[in-house]
Amino acid sequence: MMKNEVEICKEKTFEDIKHIDEAGNEYWEARELQVILGYKEWRYFSAVIEKAQVACLQSNNQINSHFGVNTKIVEAGSTTKPIMDYKLSRYACYLIVQNANPKYKAVALGQTYFAVQTRKMELTEEEYSKLSEDEKRLYRRKQTRDGNKVLYKIAREKGVKNFDRFTNAGYKGLYNGETANDIAKRKGLRYREDILDNMGSALLGANIFRITQTESLLEKQEVPNEQIATNTHYIVGKAVRETIEKLGGTMPEDLPTPSKSIKQLEKDKIKKLDIK
């Protein structure tokens, strides 16, 4: 998917239908999102919403916090009637596009847009852009920790027992065949030092996308099967790598290793608080 397509979609569709409530919170209306994604009938789109709500619950999030019921009164001939609608959070939109029919072009664009945007979580784009590189690294490292917790929980449910093999499958896809140990040796890291603690914000972002997309696909795996789950992780990692290459980005193995690890940054942060 080309970058300009995502930007056009962002500017002329998903951002256009975003609303802001009185408290300054952003939300999307399900009926408007339905049209953007290409669903002609509410009954089919509501089925997608139900799947998204199940995924929300399974991720230990409150449905009511992300899918607010918003009944509307509309004209029906000479009378009026109530119709069901929802006020959706950005996270709810993310879950919806992950469960929507990929045959619609807007769904594929939405998956990229909401995945990238949702993983910034509470920070707005403006707030995120003002962070220093070290602050971005700390922020995204937390996202990878939280994301891996969810991913491994789902992987276990899908039959994964050999988590070293499962984890390395994702890295092999993203790093052109390199395992976690290969990456650590290339970076010159100490024994058992976490490679994610020694990545810049851009590379952490790529790994966040790998984690979340694998999580989404594993949710759709109907029968527990370790080999299928492991292969899925590899395929997603490889797809992320191919996307970076198509966009003209720097390949993961060519990105520099930061001078300080995340653990060192966290220690420095604690020291500053102690001094204050």
* pLDDT value, residue 115: 65
One-letter amino acid identity for 59?
Answer: S
The closest alpha carbon to 170, from 94, 244, 249, 231, belongs to 231
Decide: helix, strand or coil at residue 69: strand
* pLDDT value, residue 272: 59
Task: Identify the burial level of 60 via C-beta atoms within 10 angstroms of its C-beta, where 0-12 means exposed, 13-18 middle and 19 or more buried.
Answer: exposed
CB atoms within 10 A of CB 221: 16
pLDDT in tens, the chain (276 residues): 334 434 434 444 777 888 887 767 789 999 999 998 989 999 999 999 999 999 888 877 788 889 999 888 877 777 888 888 999 988 899 889 989 988 887 887 777 677 665 555 555 666 777 888 998 898 889 889 888 988 999 999 999 999 999 999 999 999 999 999 999 999 999 888 999 999 999 999 999 999 999 998 998 899 999 999 999 999 999 999 999 998 898 999 999 999 999 989 888 876 654 444
**167-176, pLDDT tens digit by residue?**
999 999 999 9
* pLDDT value, residue 12: 47
CA-CA distances (angstroms) from residue 126 to 69, 104, 120, 122, 123? Answer: 29, 31, 11, 11, 8
CA quadruple 235, 237, 238, 240: dihedral positive or negative? positive
| Region of residue 3 (left: phi > 0; alpha: psi -120 to 50; beta: else) | alpha
Please, what is the Cα angle at 197 between 193 and 201, to 5 degrees? 155
Q: Are strands 86-88 and 72-76 parallel, antiparallel or unpaired?
A: unpaired
Query: Whole-angstrom Cα distance, residue 106 to residue 260?
Result: 40
Q: What letter does residue 257 receive in the DSSP assignment?
A: P
Cβ-proximal residues to 208 (8 Å cutoff; 6+ apart), any chain: 119, 140, 143, 144, 147
- In the sheet where 26-29 sits, what is the strand order? 18-20, 26-29, 86-88, 67-69
Task: Identify the burial level of 33 via C-beta atoms within 10 angstroms of its C-beta, where 0-12 means exposed, 13-18 middle and 19 or more buried.
Answer: buried
Decide: helix, strand or coil at residue 80: strand
Cβ-proximal residues to 138 (8 Å cutoff; 6+ apart), any chain: 262, 265, 266, 269
